Structure 1
Amino acid sequence: MINQISKRQKDILDLLKNHGGKVSSAELTEHFDVSVQTIRKELNRLSELALVKRVHGGICLPVQSNNLSFSNRQIIHLEEKKDIARMLIQFLPEGCSIFLGIGTTPEQIARHLIHHPGLTVITNNLNAAIALCENPNIQTHMVGGRIRATDQDVVGEDATHYFRKFQVNYGICGVGGMSSAGDLLDFSPEESHLSQAILENCEQRILVADHHKFQRSAPVKSSHLRNIDMFFTDQISTELAQLCQQLEVKVESSSNQSLRQL
């Protein structure tokens, strides 16, 4: 069963992100108006889940050369991912074909698609495929290849080659991080190859990512925001909105609910 984090622990993670990736225990104690012992208990829990790194006098974000564990990613920013999923399915027409890539946001999209009629879905996301099995009228193709137990997906040359056999209406992929210049980043070459296959073999290229992915580091460049047609997110900074406008990327964010049909 997936471990849950409390509202205060989630607020600590948000505060850490907003403070540039490092915050002191004293600042947290003052911000939440609680005892040092209470904050220490919260930080110990977040450290156990590998969501933060304990440093002298406080915490910082963990090193991002590797992604967080899948179970932790299922927890963190879950409501934002659900908002993105609910928003996206309002755009997908009946009877369309889609690629659904790896990650916890595509998983949430699959969970919200089970009542969507007439879909054809090609995915390497194990949890997405299992969720889609709840509707026998959805035609789901699961790629073959190497299973990553820690990420609950399928990767490798066979998986990438299988994606390239199709030409679909909508290619939907997540991202490990996004640089301030618009580079789309992943944590391994295998993830990068899959993302490229999705974006190169569809009519409409759709990026799904919550706002915490902006300026989050990851070591492998997969693509660039200029190669995206639509970007679905929960909220967007002024800096990123300006970049999307410059690159003619259509943005839909759940914070403004500007829903229009494709």
Structure 2
Amino acid sequence: MSDPEDRLQYALAELDRHGRVSVQALAEHFQVSRETVRRDLKQLELEGHLRCIYGGGVKPRPNADEPIADRMRLNAREKARIGECAATLLRDNIKIFVDTGTTTLAFAKHLRNWPDITVYTNSLDIVALLADAGHPNLVAVGGDVRASYRAFMGPDPVDLVTRHLFDIAFVGIATVDSRFGFMDLGQDEANIRRALRKHSKQCVMLADSSKFGRQGSICTYEFRDVDILITDAPLKADFAAQMDQAQVKVLYA
């Protein structure tokens, strides 16, 4: 049986050399199960050494959001479960806004089965997904294209949001801090999300567990600004207490 500390140190060394580590390669090197390696990588993620992605881990980028291709692989299974859970909140003949992000994209896949819902989004990927599916009530919220986010940003989407009232806004976030709340790394996405809070009857936050315990650079929402939080794992005690105090309904996918 390999020593856990040896595995962690070896994984960190491989991360320094290559910028990423593979679950399969580590499992073969130490002759342990892939589940054991995943637990090791999750521990390193909680300590801030890496970000878990599908099949392994990559170095974190603390001062910037990862490219969309990398973010698509981060906690892909968890995001799929969150998207499925969020879809249970849907009903016919409502108007919703779906924020840009990989977790909201996982949710948007379920909208192909809801042609009676009017969908507004600033996400290029969600527009492409639903347009390809022939969704009859899709509105692309245009603006300045931000390639790294694959989204329309800037003042135009904010202006459009302020001229509408949405039944539900499904939003994402960069990080969740127990002191500062829901946080972003860029001003553009924070501005859109704040406008959505003011112009939606219900705000639903989709955030996988890797977002918690990390700080961003912009305070976007206080906890009380969110009506429903959907995540994939039980919250730690400090976050659970904050959500309870703020009267946020928490759903676990």
TM bucket, shorter chain: 0.7 to 0.9
1:22 to partner: Cα distance: 3.5
Structure with higher helix content:
2
Counterpart in 2 of 1:122? 120
Q: How many angstroms apart in 2 are the aligned matches of 1:153 and 1:69?
A: 12
1:7 to partner: Cα distance: 4.3
| Residues 1:150 and 2:178 are matched in the alignment | no
Alpha-carbon displacement from aligned partner over 1:5-37 (angstroms, at most 9, x marks no partner):
85458825423123x1238xxxxxxxxxxxxxx
1:182 to partner: Cα distance: 5.1
Counterpart in 1 of 2:251? 252
Q: How many angstroms apart in 1 are the aligned matches of 2:136 and 2:198?
A: 23
1:137 to partner: Cα distance: 4.4
1:131 to partner: Cα distance: 1.1
TM (normalized to structure 2)? 0.79
Instruction: Indicate which of 198, 220, 223 corresponds to 2:218.
Output: 220
Q: Name structure 2 gaps, 5 residues minimum.
A: 1-20, 27-36
Check whether the contact 2:67–2:148 (CA below 8 A) recurs between aligned residues. Answer: yes
Q: How many angstroms apart in 2 are the aligned matches of 1:165 and 1:96?
A: 17
Question: Runs ≥4 in structure 1, deviation > 4 angstroms?
Answer: 5-10
Residues 26-175 of structure 1 aligned to structure 2 (within 5 Å): 46=57, 51-52=58-59, 62-175=60-173
Counterpart in 1 of 2:12? none
Equivalent position amino acid for 1:146 in 2:
D
Q: How many angstroms apart in 1 are the aligned matches of 2:244 and 2:71?
A: 29
Equivalent position amino acid for 1:21 in 2:
G
1:183 to partner: Cα distance: 1.3
Alpha-carbon displacement from aligned partner over 1:54-91 (angstroms, at most 9, x marks no partner):
xxxxxxxx341111111000011011000001111112
Check whether the contact 1:226–1:247 (CA below 8 A) recurs between aligned residues. Answer: yes
Equivalent position amino acid for 1:14 in 2:
K
Equivalent position amino acid for 1:87 in 2:
C
Q: How many angstroms apart in 1 are the aligned matches of 2:233 and 2:94?
A: 27
Check whether the contact 2:180–2:219 (CA below 8 A) recurs between aligned residues. Answer: no
Q: Determine helix, strand or coil for the equivalent of 2:113.
A: coil
Check whether the contact 2:94–2:167 (CA below 8 A) recurs between aligned residues. Answer: yes
Counterpart in 1 of 2:199? 201
Q: Determine helix, strand or coil for the equivalent of 1:154.
A: strand
Change (3 A) 1:249 1:228: same
1:236 to partner: Cα distance: 2.5
| Residues 1:237 and 2:199 are matched in the alignment | no
Q: Name structure 1 gaps, 5 residues minimum.
A: 24-41, 53-61, 255-262
TM (normalized to structure 1)? 0.77
Q: How many angstroms apart in 2 are the aligned matches of 1:141 and 1:117?
A: 13
Counterpart in 1 of 2:45? 17
Q: How many angstroms apart in 2 are the aligned matches of 1:120 and 1:138?
A: 8
Q: How many angstroms apart in 2 are the aligned matches of 1:16 and 1:171?
A: 33
Check whether the contact 1:121–1:138 (CA below 8 A) recurs between aligned residues. Answer: no
Alpha-carbon displacement from aligned partner over 1:125-145 (angstroms, at most 9, x marks no partner):
110111111443441111121
Change (3 A) 1:145 1:117: closer
Percent identity among equivalent residues? 24
